[in-house]
Amino acid sequence: MDKFLIDGPSKIKGKVSISGSKNASLPILAATLLFDLPVTIKNLPRVKDISTMLNLLKSLGSKVELSKDKKIAKISNPKNMKTFASYSLVKTMRGSILVLGPLVAKLHKSKTSLPGGCLIGARPVNYHLSALEKLGMNYEIKDGYIIAKSNGKLKGAVIKFPKISVGATENSIIAACLAKGKTVLKNCAIEPEIKDLTNFLNLAGAKIEWIGRTCTINGVNSLKSINYSVMADRIEAGTFCVAATLSKGSLEINNLDPKIISTELNLLKKTGAKINKNKNKISIKGPEKIKPIKNIKTKEFPGIPTDLQAQLMVLMCRANGKSSITENIFENRFMHVAELQRLGANITIKNNKAFIDGNTKFIAAELMSSDLRASVALVLAASVANGKSIINRIYHLDRGYEKIENKLKNIGIKIKRLKK
Ligand code: UD1
């Protein structure tokens, strides 16, 4: 397994270009299963989760033609598509569950593996299943698989999600596109990645409208062939903004509409960062003294994303005083804390709240990645620590950050991949 060697401390300076969004690409790729005609998806990030989704589509019979740089995929579906999403593909990435809705909507049956838990929480799929059931999907769980079918086309329904879920909203929207009649989804997630999915589907002829957290979908018979460019990755952009603030450096972040990370930028301003926004560019300069923030809380969009929680915790370790972070989305998303403590952090956890004593002088250590965002947080911490840190299990990072070490090297971080 590859490792990173990071020689700190370093100060960030330079420019970085943000890649396409992983979390927007995944549902858009899953939705291509609805199409009879070829679709072309552009600006895909070159990360492991995207190759997993493309492999899953191929295993279902889709023909995938990738451009040389692997950022453009032309996807065509033959008549005799398969409906089996195997455990070996689904277990490596929970986003794979997003093929369930389109398979049942288009082919009226599917055998899709249950994704199972992961380190950050149990992550059940009950909201996906009950929403699809209301649209007319029958299912049973057998040997770890969801065996699902529908009696012909799905039928529009009114569904209120008991809790806001990104994945369940996406699965239901995709499925409802080809359902008979009108579907009204209430209490939806409204993350920008979901809006990107509905833009894509509408451009292909779907009839989807939003009012607040309510999404209305009028079913259509088929979708038309289009080219679509996926939005930029707001979590990658947020991570680089935190990195610049943390290292008291200055960074120009290109290729992203600053509006989609306004909450994050407002929070960083409170820490003392100086931020300038243009149409597709953010310039950020870290303060000499990082101000602590008393009560950071993760929340569904437009709140602070849980996917930025670990990175913000590293920043608060270096702030000039006490702060706290409450994790409201996942029950077990503090795996990075024990590793940060090994670097010298002073953090106490009470239930879903972390209390952080600032002014930590991180000292290099050997560390272990646990999940995607925790791993990047360790990279950030190691980059401002004194000495050489080793970060193990960086395959987590490769799942979601495109060319992370090249991007970090270009802005002044001394990072090296040790191949095994
Ligand atoms: C997506 C993102 C992930 C992000 C998360 C929250 C993708 C591929 N992943 O994950 O990066 O951290 O949103 O912003 O886009 N839940 C249930 N039952 C369900 C579904 C969810 O109890 O059927 C719970 C989850 O355990 C969690 C909460 O609802 O506690 C929110 O999860 P959800 O929004 O569904 O996250 P994902 O779509 O899995």
Q: Percent of the chain at pLDDT above 90?
A: 92
Report the separation in Å between the CA atom of 165 and the middle of ligand 1, taken as the mean of its atom positions: 5
pLDDT at 176 over 70: yes
Atom number in ligand 1 closest to CA 123:
26
CATH 3.65.10.10 domain residues, the chain: 3-18+232-418, 22-229
Asked whether 128 lines ligand 1 (CB < 6 A), one says yes
Report the separation in Å between the CA atom of 329 and the middle of ligand 1, taken as the mean of its atom positions: 8
- Cα separation, 307 vs 234, whole angstroms: 10
Report the separation in Å between the CA atom of 167 and the middle of ligand 1, taken as the mean of its atom positions: 6
Query: Cα torsion for 241, 375, 396, 408, to the nearest 10°?
Result: 50
Q: Going by CA atoms, what residue is nearest to atom 5 of ligand 1? A: 166
- Cα separation, 358 vs 290, whole angstroms: 9
- Cα separation, 419 vs 4, whole angstroms: 9
Indicate the burial class of 276 (C-beta count within 10 angstroms; 0-12, 13-18, 19 or more): exposed
Report the separation in Å between the CA atom of 162 and the middle of ligand 1, taken as the mean of its atom positions: 13
pLDDT of residue 332: 81
pLDDT at 190 over 70: yes
| Strand runs labelled E in 114-249 | 137-142, 145-150, 158-160, 182-186, 207-211, 214-218, 227-229
Asked whether 166 lines ligand 1 (CB < 6 A), one says yes
CATH superfamily of 3-18+232-418: Enolpyruvate transferase domain (3.65.10.10)
pLDDT of residue 238: 98
Report the separation in Å between the CA atom of 123 and the middle of ligand 1, taken as the mean of its atom positions: 7
pLDDT of residue 385: 98
- The separation between CA 316 and the C-alpha centre of its own chain, rounded to angstroms, equals 22
- Cα separation, 230 vs 224, whole angstroms: 17
What is the rounded average pLDDT of the residues 319-332?
A: 95
HSE-CB of 393 using CA atoms within 13 angstroms: 13
pLDDT at 317 over 70: yes
Helix (H, G, I), strand (E, B) or coil at 27: helix
- Cα separation, 219 vs 152, whole angstroms: 14
Asked whether 26 lines ligand 1 (CB < 6 A), one says yes
Q: Going by CA atoms, what residue is nearest to atom 9 of ligand 1? A: 23
Strand partners, 85: 112
Asked whether 303 lines ligand 1 (CB < 6 A), one says no
Mapping DSSP onto H, E and C, the string for 256-311 reads: CCHHHHHHHHHHHHHCCCEEEEECCEEEEECCCCCCCCCCEEECCCCCECHHHHHH
pLDDT of residue 331: 83
Establish whether 118 is a catalytic residue: yes
The fold for domain 22-229 equals UDP-n-acetylglucosamine1-carboxyvinyl-transferase; Chain (3.65.10)
Looking at this protein, which amino acid is placed at residue 153?
K
What is the rounded average pLDDT of the residues 92-97?
A: 91
- Cα separation, 192 vs 198, whole angstroms: 10
What is the rounded average pLDDT of the residues 171-192?
A: 98
pTM of the complete model: 0.97
Report the separation in Å between the CA atom of 27 and the middle of ligand 1, taken as the mean of its atom positions: 13
Atom number in ligand 1 closest to CA 331:
30
Q: Going by CA atoms, what residue is nearest to atom 11 of ligand 1? A: 307
Beta 158-160 vs 296-297: how paired, if at all?
A: unpaired
Burial 72-95 (b: 16+ CB within 10 A, else e): bbbbbbeeeeebebebebbebbbb
Least confident piece of the model among 110-124, 226-240, 267-281: 110-124
pLDDT of residue 371: 87
From residue 169, give the alpha-carbon distance in Å to each of 173, 217, 243, 281, 304. 6, 12, 31, 30, 19
Best of 97, 98, 123 for a ligand 1 pocket test (most atoms within 8 Å of beta carbon) = 123
Per-residue model confidence as pLDDT tens digits over 120-154: 666 789 999 999 999 999 999 999 999 999 999 99
Best of 25, 98, 166 for a ligand 1 pocket test (most atoms within 8 Å of beta carbon) = 166
Q: State the catalytic residue, choosing from 118, 177, 215, 241.
A: 118
pLDDT of residue 123: 78
Q: Going by CA atoms, what residue is nearest to atom 26 of ligand 1? A: 123
Contact between 72 and 44 under an 8 Å Cβ cutoff? The reply is: yes
The token pair at 222 is: 């088929």
Contact between 139 and 150 under an 8 Å Cβ cutoff? The reply is: no
Alpha helices by DSSP H, listed for 76-149, are: 87-90, 100-107, 126-134
Atom number in ligand 1 closest to CA 329:
30
Indicate the burial class of 59 (C-beta count within 10 angstroms; 0-12, 13-18, 19 or more): middle
pLDDT of residue 116: 65
pLDDT of residue 306: 97
Q: Percent of the chain at pLDDT above 70?
A: 98
pLDDT at 191 over 80: yes
Report the separation in Å between the CA atom of 306 and the middle of ligand 1, taken as the mean of its atom positions: 10
From residue 18, give the alpha-carbon distance in Å to each of 43, 311, 378. 10, 17, 20
pLDDT at 261 over 90: yes
Q: Going by CA atoms, what residue is nearest to atom 25 of ligand 1? A: 123
Query: Cα torsion for 144, 93, 30, 42, to the nearest 10°?
Result: -170
